[in-house]
Chain A
Amino acid sequence: MAKKKFVVGCFDDEKVLFPAVKKVRKAGYKIHDVYTPFPIHGLDQVMGLRDTSLHTAGFIYGITGTTTALTFMSWVFNKDWPLNIGGKPHFPLPAFIPITFELTVLFSAVGMVLTFCYLCQLAPFVKKHHFHARATDDLFVMVLECTSKTKEDEAKAFLETVGAKEINVQVAEDGWWLGRYAKEQKLYDTPTENSLA
């Protein structure tokens, strides 16, 4: 993981954020990410992110559960230990349905959550750089990555024209790490009437 330079613009209304994202992309800036306190439908399309394939993964985990349950129970009842249970059949499909269904759901749910955590790199003790402490409260934080072509002052000025209320430049780790928060991590302070003016 490497440290990179970012230009950060904070918006206080998602109505302003949408056109801003469009304009920033049109102007050729590289959007590192937009951090929001709640899911904003359509923002991913506007940012040009592709749709997630998590559903497909969930389906694959699900059918894995189905086959695991069915093959295991049939193997036990027919091959490994064919026990005569009150003369009942060795392949009682209706009786297998409850467990097959439960394992389908279990595999799918557990698999999807683990995949989700892996893709988003979420785990206990994982630390990440937070560009603004209020990104989980009431601010929409747009982060532009500074490439070799980006001019910081121009980017800052551009963000101002599209409606960002608070703009700054940060050098930060773009991945995750274990241990302490970085010293320069800005801590939360209670927003006042004028803090974003």
Chain B
Amino acid sequence: MASLRYESQVREPLVTGAKTYHDVTEDIVRPIEAAPSRLWKIGFTISVLLLLFGVYSVYREVVYGIGEWNLNKTIGWGWDITNFVWWVGIGHAGTLISAILLLFRQGWRTGVNRAAEAMTIFAVMCAGQFPIFHMGRVWMAFFVLPYPNSRGPLWVNFNSPLLWDVFAISTYFTVSLLFWYAGLLPDLATVRDRAKEKWRKNMYGVLAFGWTGSTKHWQRHEALSLVLAGLSTPLVLSVHTIVSFDFATSVIPGWHTTIFPPYFVAGAIFSGFAMVQTLLIITRKVLNLNDYITMEHIEVMNKVIVLTGSIVGIAYITELFISWYGQNPYEMAAFKNRYDLSTPYAWSYWLMMSCNVIAPQFFWFRKLRRNILFTFFMSIIVNVGMWFERFVIIVTSIYRDYLPSSWSTYYTPSLWEVGFYLGTFGLFFTCFFLFAKYFPVIAIAEIKHILKKNGESYKANMGEEEKATVEHFTHENAHH
């Protein structure tokens, strides 16, 4: 037998219940074939309305200019860049799950990777809107691309981290999309081949690119997935590294910090996993996928959350230590502006600290890691905290400029600034609702691949294999 089917019973099954290959197809494709539920329609309508409000807010910004937002000369980056970094951070979990965990041979990724990757793509789409519309004259956004132009040609500045960002985020978006769609092809073919209505057969026929399941195609598909995973692994790390360069390569006290790259990457994974939890806890309930996204999956992700949350905590404390250790008065002032409770934005720093560092420590308890309601609550808390982290980094580092006459203490966003942010929620959830309704939210082929190793009913019989002689075991399991 070629594939190693044995796995220790100490590990919990990743697919619960007695399932055959056909049951897996049925369970995952059923929600696609059923009529949309009432809950789906309500959720979708709310998302579209939010999206429309966002479109109107952006429309005002484009027509009347950046003055529609409450940014000023001192606080040049406010909500918009905070939202940008926040969304990009969220967009890190998907590719981390599908790429890094593939290389680390983490079997549990198969249950959650499809939805997490979709979430990544939608989050990056939302993130991209902010720097683009922050440009003000958005119709000139293409000036960031190095194309031969009639102005010299005057090229872009390849020394600038803002330009690196353009390359990093567009590459990340493209590669994530390709990775996601390549994985989807076989599953779309499964939906196509089951289709009873003509429109469905045609639609999924087009989407599935004529996939047949040929062994040669699978062989290439596996090679493609592995190499894309290998490429995406440093890519994930590079994207938030480069986003952190936007700050770290400047000379603003509070931004000019060498630990930014790893600290941002850990924070990105932290918030990304929190968002995956938020979405999957709802999805598994609504689509009845508890057998595929099990308590084990939720617990493992909570472990990642407590790990990355603690890394972020160490980064916060290191920043404070270094500002004291360096004895640079400007640097010390920047950090005093954060933690000193008498300053106007200290509340945001301590909100960040409690949400990101203190709250996740509850996940050291197994009982709480395996509590759905608590996990859901925590996932929201973490994302609130991570939004405030970016707000703290951006606003509290710049609101007290070098000259006290330039201080801008009371920054509150305008309605259209908030509207833009709400609009990206609309975009994100509109896309996610469409994805959950029309695409297989779990990688069907990958679940079938691990079914006989990690399925509950198959694992039940593995005790016998454990008792077998070495000769028998190798004969049954090893490649030959």
B-contacting residues of A (Cβ < 8 Å)?
14-15, 18, 33-47, 49, 51-52, 54-55, 58, 62, 72-73, 76-77, 80-81, 83, 85, 88, 92, 95-96, 98-99, 101-103, 105-106, 108-110, 112-113, 116-117, 119-128, 130, 133-138, 141, 176, 181, 187-188, 191
Task: Please pick, from A33, A88, A112, the residue contacting B224 in the complex, using a CB distance under 8 A.
Answer: A112
Interface residue B21 (Cβ < 8 Å from any Cβ of A): yes
| In the complex, residue of chain B having the shortest beta-carbon distance to the beta carbon of A54 | B223
CB atoms of A36 and B193 under 8 A apart: no
Complex Cα spacing A130 to B192, Å: 11
Surface stretch bound by A, among B160-168, B299-307, B327-335, B366-374: B160-168
Interface residue B215 (Cβ < 8 Å from any Cβ of A): yes
Complex Cα spacing A141 to B213, Å: 9
Task: Please pick, from B196, B220, B234, B445, the residue contacting A37 in the complex, using a CB distance under 8 A.
Answer: B445
Surface stretch bound by A, among B40-48, B115-123, B201-209, B428-436: B201-209
Chain A neighbourhood of B460, CB < 8 A? none
CB atoms of B20 and A36 under 8 A apart: no
CB atoms of A136 and B157 under 8 A apart: no
CB atoms of A41 and B207 under 8 A apart: no
Chain A neighbourhood of B242, CB < 8 A? 98
Over the window 151-182 of chain B, the binary record of Cβ atoms lying under 8 Å from chain A Cβ atoms (1 yes, 0 no) is: 01111011101011001100100110011001
CB atoms of B218 and A39 under 8 A apart: yes
CB atoms of A106 and B171 under 8 A apart: yes
Over the window 444-467 of chain B, the binary record of Cβ atoms lying under 8 Å from chain A Cβ atoms (1 yes, 0 no) is: 111011000000000000000000
| In the complex, residue of chain B having the shortest beta-carbon distance to the beta carbon of A137 | B25
Complex Cα spacing A80 to B156, Å: 12
User: Which residue, B155, B174, B210, B448, has most C-beta atoms of chain A within 10 A?
Assistant: B210
CB atoms of B194 and A188 under 8 A apart: yes
Chain B neighbourhood of A110, CB < 8 A? 174, 178
| In the complex, residue of chain B having the shortest beta-carbon distance to the beta carbon of A143 | B214
Chief secondary structure at chain B's binding surface: helix
12 A-B contacts (beta carbon < 8 Å): A37-B25, A37-B213, A38-B446, A43-B218, A44-B219, A54-B227, A55-B227, A105-B231, A108-B227, A120-B221, A124-B206, A128-B212
CB atoms of A113 and B182 under 8 A apart: yes
Interface residue B285 (Cβ < 8 Å from any Cβ of A): no
Report the minimal beta-carbon distance from A36 to chain B, rounded to whole angstroms. Answer: 5
| In the complex, residue of chain A having the shortest beta-carbon distance to the beta carbon of B206 | A124
CB atoms of B174 and A81 under 8 A apart: no
CB atoms of B245 and A98 under 8 A apart: yes
Chain B neighbourhood of A128, CB < 8 A? 210, 212
Chain A neighbourhood of B448, CB < 8 A? 37-38
Given A38-B444, A40-B3, A125-B206, 10 more contacts at CB 8 Å?
Answer: A38-B446, A39-B219, A39-B445, A40-B2, A52-B223, A80-B153, A102-B167, A109-B228, A136-B186, A141-B213
Complex Cα spacing A102 to B245, Å: 15
Given A37-B21, A98-B245, A109-B228, check contact A85 B449 (CB 8 Å). no
CB atoms of A44 and B216 under 8 A apart: yes
Given A38-B448, A81-B153, A136-B186, check contact A54 B224 (CB 8 Å). yes
8 shortest interchain CB distances as A-B pairs: A42-B2, A126-B210, A138-B21, A122-B209, A98-B164, A38-B445, A39-B218, A38-B448
Chain A neighbourhood of B205, CB < 8 A? 127, 181
Complex Cα spacing A170 to B342, Å: 82
User: Which residue, A14, A128, A137, has most C-beta atoms of chain B within 10 A?
Assistant: A137
Residues of B130-169 whose CB lies within 8 A of A: 146, 152-155, 157-159, 161, 163-164, 167-168
CB atoms of A43 and B224 under 8 A apart: no
Chain A neighbourhood of B174, CB < 8 A? 106, 109-110
Report the minimal beta-carbon distance from A185 to chain B, rounded to whole angstroms. Answer: 10
CB atoms of B163 and A99 under 8 A apart: yes
| In the complex, residue of chain B having the shortest beta-carbon distance to the beta carbon of A49 | B216
Given A80-B153, A108-B231, check contact A122 B1 (CB 8 Å). no
Interface residue B222 (Cβ < 8 Å from any Cβ of A): yes
CB atoms of B216 and A138 under 8 A apart: no
Residues of B180-202 whose CB lies within 8 A of A: 182, 185-186, 189-190, 192-196, 201
Task: Please pick, from B152, B207, B227, B238, the residue contacting A124 in the complex, using a CB distance under 8 A.
Answer: B207
Chain B neighbourhood of A62, CB < 8 A? 231
Residues of B240-255 whose CB lies within 8 A of A: 242, 245
User: Which residue, A77, A120, A141, has most C-beta atoms of chain B within 10 A?
Assistant: A120
CB atoms of B218 and A135 under 8 A apart: no
Chain A neighbourhood of B220, CB < 8 A? 52, 54, 116, 119-120
Chain B neighbourhood of A130, CB < 8 A? 193, 212
Report the minimal beta-carbon distance from A25 to chain B, rounded to whole angstroms. Answer: 13
CB atoms of B223 and A92 under 8 A apart: no
CB atoms of B167 and A188 under 8 A apart: no
Chain A neighbourhood of B171, CB < 8 A? 102-103, 105-106
Interface residue B211 (Cβ < 8 Å from any Cβ of A): yes
Complex Cα spacing A124 to B234, Å: 30
Complex Cα spacing A112 to B175, Å: 11
Complex Cα spacing A117 to B185, Å: 11
User: Which residue, A39, A125, A127, has most C-beta atoms of chain B within 10 A?
Assistant: A39
Interface residue B235 (Cβ < 8 Å from any Cβ of A): yes
| In the complex, residue of chain B having the shortest beta-carbon distance to the beta carbon of A32 | B214
CB atoms of A102 and B238 under 8 A apart: yes
CB atoms of A103 and B167 under 8 A apart: yes
Interface residue B22 (Cβ < 8 Å from any Cβ of A): yes
CB atoms of A43 and B215 under 8 A apart: yes
| In the complex, residue of chain B having the shortest beta-carbon distance to the beta carbon of A99 | B167
Task: Please pick, from A81, A108, A126, the residue contacting B154 in the complex, using a CB distance under 8 A.
Answer: A81
Given A109-B178, A137-B190, check contact A99 B209 (CB 8 Å). no
Task: Please pick, from B1, B155, B213, B228, the residue contacting A135 in the complex, using a CB distance under 8 A.
Answer: B213
CB atoms of A113 and B224 under 8 A apart: yes
Complex Cα spacing A134 to B189, Å: 10
Task: Please pick, from B168, B175, B215, the residue contacting A44 in the complex, using a CB distance under 8 A.
Answer: B215
Interface residue B105 (Cβ < 8 Å from any Cβ of A): no
Report the minimal beta-carbon distance from A88 to chain B, rounded to whole angstroms. Answer: 6
